[in-house]
């Protein structure tokens, strides 16, 4: 899992799984899910992230799952 915050655009993106082809489905006005060909959520985009989180404590992180 990767978490990325773009300060200039106040955008938080969470990558749950790498996928080449995705479609976007708007969950709420400012939350968009990226969905893969198997109908699994592979990413979450949050527009206006500072309305949901204290963004001064957000930084880019990568978390890898152990096998």
- C-alpha angle with apex 16: 37 to 26, nearest 5 degrees? 65
Residue 38 inside a domain? The answer is yes
What is the number of domains present in the chain? 1
pLDDT at position 66: 61
Residue 67 maps to a domain:
no
Q: Is residue 10 part of a domain?
A: yes
In a domain, 27, yes or no: yes
Q: What's the rounded Cα separation, in Å, for the pair 2 and 62?
A: 4
Question: pLDDT tens digits for 14-35?
Answer: 999 999 888 999 999 999 999 9
Q: What number of other Cβ atoms are within 10 A of residue 22's Cβ?
A: 16
CA 56 to chain centre: 17
Domain that holds residue 45: 2-62
**What is each CA distance from 51 to 11, 37, 40, 62, 64, in whole angstroms?**
11, 31, 26, 23, 28
pLDDT for the residue numbered 35: 97
């Amino acid at each position: 899992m990767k978490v990325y915050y773009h300060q200039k655009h106040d955008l938080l993106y969470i990558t749950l799984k790498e996928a080449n082809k995705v479609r976007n489905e708007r969950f709420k006005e400012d939350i968009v899910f990226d969905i893969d060909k198997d109908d699994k959520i592979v990413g979450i985009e949050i527009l206006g992230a500072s309305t949901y989180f204290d963004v001064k404590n957000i930084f880019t992180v990568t978390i890898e799952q152990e096998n």
